[in-house]
Amino acid sequence: MPKVRTKDIIEKFNLNILSGEEGISRSITVSDLSRPGIEIAGYFNYYPKERVQLLGKTELSFLEQLTTEQITERMERLCTDITPAIIVTRDMEIPEQLLEASERAGVPVLSSPMKTTRLASHLTNFLEAKLAPTTAIHGVLVDIYGIGVLIVGKSGVGKSETALELVKRGHRLVADDCVEIRQEDQDMLIGNAPELIEHLLEIRGLGILNVMTLFGAGAVRSFKRVTLVINLEIWDPQKQYDRLGLEEEKMRIIDTDVPKLTVPVRPGRNLAVIIEVAAMNFRLKLLGVNAAEQFTNKLAGVIGDGPGEE
């Protein structure tokens, strides 16, 4: 199913339908927009017909210099079988030739009172969010001191119980069990909960809990950027775990590498406190303070200043 149709942008931006109403269910497949000034001048060799077309003051004023035959021919070529919509900004007067061509081709012609650049900015942001690559990950997403921490691990390892303790400590739940993640821009991952399980937390033995009802609106948020991954795994005595914090592990989500920490789980370890401190330490690293590097540099200095051989 197409993610975005023309009728979605009509509803979102309160656009007026002037002609071509039968095409409002056309799908929009790209977030890029087009201002077809060079096409109106007659050059259609590289016309991006699959994009939403914006006609502003510049394009419409240029039309006034063309003959009636030229306007008719250019408008016919603008309206193709895959063009999702043609939007006229500033509620400007629209050439009759465009309305006629759009009716024949079934291309919606829409109008907006907004300025062209402003509408283009809002429309691009909306389409990029809707058309962004998405994936779903089994885990829990929590906002800890402004850091979006994605907690992953095998089923039953204690992800939801840890999230509950974090919420009790004043942090905010974004999603439990299934985290929908979309990639915005080049390296920005935004996580949210599926609508069906938003604000819900599943605890074995207790069942489904509504976090917002139990702890208030301040205990949840709708979405958060994923900046750190915590992998919980059952303690393996045969495995060597990082004890200094110098190892840089990454987890690839869609096309973005996210810093990842592996935390072993065994009785007696307070996972909520460990994850909370991990988020605080991650913030310090972003600010340029790395305790592990400072320790190793200090240790190297002590070793270098040791007694020399005689």
119, 163: one domain: no
Q: Are strands 147-153 and 172-175 parallel, antiparallel or unpaired?
A: unpaired
pLDDT (0 to 100) of residue 49: 95
199, 125: one domain: no
177 is catalytic: yes
CA neighbours within 13 Å on the CB side: how many for 76?
6
Task: Give the domain range for residue 115.
Answer: 6-131
* 239 assigned binding-site residue: no
Rounded to two decimals, the pTM is: 0.75
* 289 assigned binding-site residue: no
Q: Structure tokens of 12?
A: 């979102």
174, 248: one domain: yes
91 is catalytic: no
Q: Is residue 38 part of a domain?
A: yes
162, 282: one domain: yes
For 99-143, the pLDDT digits (tens) are: 999 999 999 999 999 999 999 999 999 998 889 889 999 999 999
Q: Is residue 112 part of a domain?
A: yes
* 155 assigned binding-site residue: yes
From 243, 252, 266, 305, the catalytic residue: 243
From 138, 204, 269, 298, the catalytic residue: 138
* 153 assigned binding-site residue: yes
pLDDT score of 95 more than 50: yes
144, 280: one domain: yes
Q: Are strands 33-34 and 52-55 parallel, antiparallel or unpaired?
A: parallel
Burial 119-157 (b: 16+ CB within 10 A, else e): bbeebeebbeebbbeeeebebbbbbbeebbbbbbbeeeb
* Pairwise CA distance, residues 156 & 54, whole Å: 52
237, 257: one domain: yes
159 is catalytic: yes
Q: How confident is the model at residue 75 (pLDDT cuts 50, 70, 90)?
A: very high
From 77, 177, 283, 285, the catalytic residue: 177
DSSP 19: E
252 is catalytic: no
pLDDT (0 to 100) of residue 166: 95
How many other CB atoms are found less than 10 A from the CB of residue 277? 12
For 193-212, the pLDDT digits (tens) are: 999 999 999 998 889 999 99
* 224 assigned binding-site residue: no
